Amino acid sequence: MGANEHGVCIGNEAVWGREEVSDEEALLGMDLVRLGLERADTAEKALDVIVDLLEKYGQGGNCSEGGMAFSYHNSFLIADRKEAWILETAGKYWAAEKVQEGVRNISNQLSITTKIDREHPHMRNYAKQKGWWNGTKEFDFAATYSYIDTAKMMVSPGRYCEGYRLLNKHKGNITFETMAEILRDKPSGINMEGDFLTTASMVSILPQDSSLPCIHFFTGTPDPERSVFKPFIFAPNISQLLDTSSPTIEFEDPFKKKPHFRINPDRRHPLYQEHQQALKVIDSKEEKAKTMLDNMKKLEKQLFKDMESILQNKHLDVDKIVNLFPQSAKDEIQIYKSNMSSS
């Protein structure tokens, strides 16, 4: 997931279906997110970038470093200040739905059914050739390209259904706090644990008024329930994000060796490392845990109050903006260190 200076945001989820997943090296979903954000200044242009790259290079490859093989196809939630799109893929084939109203989410399954606003030109014909669609029945992308019974899709107890339920519950009154609360929800499976732990979370506020800044909140750490959402606003001469920059990994001729990335490099940035140490305290010392989590909540509450003030007063202090995210990360690290040093 990520955002760019034009207010374009892209989130990416793994999906599987009838079309076979290739473990041959191609573009990963994360590559497509980055390239879409690098090259597009609107949501629909980002969609164009992604589908053009899919057509030219395909998707595939191992999405996991180290020994485990883990490959999948991808779905994308793409938004800017004015519009939002869902893009879902099966190999090089794809369908896109423009979000016209209400709430919309993606989560580990194809979810575009009969409302298809753009599509791969051969997507229906390919499905017909494979025997997945008879050519006369109304075309349903999720039902055709996966094994989902779309009639039951909104009542099954999965992450997609639960995410939609939580969003729909707050429809018309969704705030930053609402989104953070949903991303922190563990019973729904949205906030994942175990081997597929939620590694980072993001919430973006994209005002339709172009005189107001887009504000992006990032945790930069796993488990949003025990993380701080820190604000970032694009501005000229932004301070370096040293506490959340992963170390550069030097490989010896990585592209001449196959298979690549058999080693498992340590990519933890300073904030991540301090967060992991803090979790040990949270898990083992109840009183320290309460103090630490309370301080984290206070910091987040103050940060959101500051951002709300910017949106209401339409005033940006550029000197503060360039240090906004780096300073928030430092404040979070200080909370961890002060509690650990006195433990």
What's residue 81's pLDDT? 98
The pLDDT, as a whole number, for residue 342 is: 57
Q: Among 174, 203, 218, where does a domain finish?
A: 174
Of the chain, the end-to-end C-alpha distance in Å amounts to 35
Mark whether 153 and 188 lie in a shared domain.
no
Residues 242 and 166 in one domain: no
- The range of the structural domain enclosing residue 203 comes to 176-342
Where does a domain end: 174, 204, 221?
174
pLDDT value of position 253: 54
Count of CB atoms within 10 A of residue 36's CB?
Answer: 26
Q: Per the structure, how many domains does the chain have? A: 2
79/157 same-domain check = yes
Query: pLDDT value at position 205?
Result: 98
298 plus 206 within the same structural domain? yes
Q: Residue 232: CB partners within 8 Å, gap ≥ 6?
A: 215, 216, 217, 218, 324, 325
- Judge if 42 and 85 occupy the same domain: yes
- The verdict on 63 and 137 lying in the same domain is yes
Assess whether 252 and 268 both reside in one domain: yes
Question: 145, 303, 135: which is closest to 231 by C-alpha?
Answer: 303
Q: Kindly state whether residues 80 and 185 are assigned to the same domain.
A: no
Clarify whether residues 49 and 183 are in a common domain.
no
CB 218 within 8 A of CB 188: no
Q: Which pLDDT belongs to residue 259?
A: 56
| Closest CA relative to residue 244, chosen from 214, 216, 282, 211 | 216
H helix and E strand count, the chain = 10, 9
Q: Which of 37, 171, 42, 43 is nearest to 98 (CA)?
A: 43
Domain co-membership, 93 together with 181: no
Q: Could you state, in chain order, the average pLDDT of each consecutive group of 10 residues for the chain (343 residues)? A: 98 94 88 98 98 95 75 95 98 96 94 97 98 96 89 77 95 95 95 90 97 97 96 93 87 56 77 93 85 96 96 87 96 91 59
DSSP 8-state symbol, 243: G
Residues 268 and 216 in one domain: yes
Cα separations in angstroms, 246 against 161, 232, 253: 34, 18, 20
Output the pLDDT for position 58.
94
Domain stops at, among 143, 158, 174:
174
Give me the phi and psi of 149, to 5 degrees please.
-85, 100
pLDDT at residue number 260: 56
pTM: 0.92
Determine contact, residues 174/113, Cβ cutoff 8 Å.
no
Q: Say whether both 167 and 193 belong to one domain.
A: no
pLDDT at position 148, please? 80
